[in-house]
Amino acid sequence: MSDIPYKIYLEESEMPKQWYNVRADMKKKPAPILNPGTLQPVTLQELSGIFCEELAKQELDDTTPYFDIPAEIRDFYKMYRPSPLVRAYCLEKKLDTPAHIYYKFEGNNTSGSHKLNSAIAQAYYAKKQGLKGVTTETGAGQWGTALSMACSYFDLDCQVYMVKVSYEQKPFRREVMRTYGATVTPSPSMNTEVGRRINAEFPGTTGSLGCAISEAVEAAVSQEGYRYVLGSVLSQVLLHQSVIGLEAKAALDKYGIKADMIIGCAGGGSNLGGLISPFVGEMLRGENQYEIIAVEPASCPSLTRGVYAYDFCDTGKVCPLAKMYTLGSGFIPSANHAGGLRYHGMSSVVSELYDQKLISARSVEQTSVFEAARTFARVEGILPAPESSHAIRVAIDEALKCKETGEAKNIVFGLTGTGYFDMVAYQKFNDGEMSDYIPTDEDLKKSIDMLPKV
């Protein structure tokens, strides 16, 4: 064993005091988001009708490199941050690899994932603005849980529209949110116009994330003192999530470790974007080079098989349009896929970095992801979320390549969360009943052909 501990913890005094906005260092910026009505770049005023004003400002600001993290948010962070950067000694030994593997573990809080980093920021700005509450949607439930915790802390009302099939199949997620005081409504509901319309059109529907977003947005704009909040995709979310990368980099620097490769799973891009931000910043400023890999499911391959175009962020087409790698907002990911990485598009920041070839992407199949998850769990102890396990898969693959070449690369990956609420998927895997799904080119063509003409 070397002198590097199993877990590198920063001191509280070493925690980041500012978020880093990677857009400020990009010469070619991500394309502006568009008003879905006018198809013109959305204005601050327009955006402030949906989002809290301070968050709308962050969303539109692509020049300010650093934003101070308010003291109230830093205090909350201190309850579960700094999160450890773990040296995966046991995994290295199991793989018999010369590579040094590190993971930034974001699952050590009740929400079970990194989502809390942005949830607490969004709740803070809502409170500061004097709002009564916020609305949101949740699919798998990580974001809804995180937001419930954040709202409870700031004594804000929290209304969560949960995709009906998840509401019914994940009652425990629902109960965690209720324990934190949130109202959880199965979507489509009879609370909103769009919900009533969808229920009438498709009786017995079990809902979709797109529908839940539309309901949450309607609920926000139709109630005095409410705004809508979102847990991924948006640039403001990536800004808040930069705390992951800043801490990871500080921890590596503390021990003089230079990462060769940084790997993150990518659904909407919040974790990946946050983890890689400060490293990409160094690349953009010409200070350093890193190999960065975004890992997505083969069942929902927006980066590796999507197109780079303007698209709606939601199926209901009420949110602004963003230029992003997308499979089309009409793409319905296979129910076969267990993880939460089922979003049709990708954060416009991550998309632009990918287009500029600053990062690469790889898609992996579900069964091999769960094999990696099991290997990891058995030697490193932590039971990983299916989402996070996509990154584990590629980290293991890369470490095995190092075994062949003899290279002692420093591989860093993001372990975004724990799998305690995903045991139905683990059970399928344990019982040998898990299968893989890869959409055909025709499947993708259908939804891509329906992209808006912008």
Binding stretches for a copy of itself (CB under 8 A): 1, 5-7, 9, 11-12, 75-76, 78-80, 86, 89-90, 108-110, 112, 149, 152-153, 171-172, 175-176, 178-181, 374, 377-383, 418, 420-421, 423, 426-427, 429-430
- Residue 170 identity: K
Q: Smallest distance from the beta carbon of 389 to a copy of itself, in angstroms? A: 12
| CB-CB contact of 247 with 85 (8 Å) | yes
| CB-CB contact of 122 with 53 (8 Å) | no
Q: Smallest distance from the beta carbon of 394 to a copy of itself, in angstroms? A: 21
In the Cβ-directed half-sphere of 118, how many Cα atoms lie within 13 Å? 28
**Closer to a copy of itself by Cβ: residue 138 or 214:** 138
Asked whether the CA dihedral 209, 210, 213, 218 is positive or negative, the reply is negative
Asked whether the CA dihedral 238, 239, 241, 247 is positive or negative, the reply is positive
**Closer to a copy of itself by Cβ: residue 336 or 430:** 430
In the Cβ-directed half-sphere of 396, how many Cα atoms lie within 13 Å? 25
**Closer to a copy of itself by Cβ: residue 183 or 304:** 183
Q: Smallest distance from the beta carbon of 265 to a copy of itself, in angstroms? A: 19
Give the H or E element holding residue 292. strand 291-297
Pairing of strands 183-187, 226-228: unpaired
Pairing of strands 183-187, 157-163: parallel
Q: Smallest distance from the beta carbon of 144 to a copy of itself, in angstroms? A: 14
The residue among 406, 274, 419 whose CA lies nearest residue 349 is: 274
**Closer to a copy of itself by Cβ: residue 7 or 258:** 7
- d(C-alpha 147, C-alpha 178), whole Å: 11
Pairing of strands 321-326, 307-312: antiparallel
**Closer to a copy of itself by Cβ: residue 86 or 346:** 86
Q: Smallest distance from the beta carbon of 110 to a copy of itself, in angstroms? A: 4
Q: How far is CA 137 from CA 143, 166, 241, 323, 340, in A?
A: 8, 11, 19, 22, 13
Q: Smallest distance from the beta carbon of 109 to a copy of itself, in angstroms? A: 6
**Closer to a copy of itself by Cβ: residue 319 or 369:** 369
- Residue 213 identity: I
- 285: tokens are 């400023």
**Closer to a copy of itself by Cβ: residue 279 or 421:** 421
Q: Smallest distance from the beta carbon of 60 to a copy of itself, in angstroms? A: 31
**Closer to a copy of itself by Cβ: residue 221 or 377:** 377
Q: Smallest distance from the beta carbon of 99 to a copy of itself, in angstroms? A: 18
The residue among 266, 275, 231, 271 whose CA lies nearest residue 85 is: 275
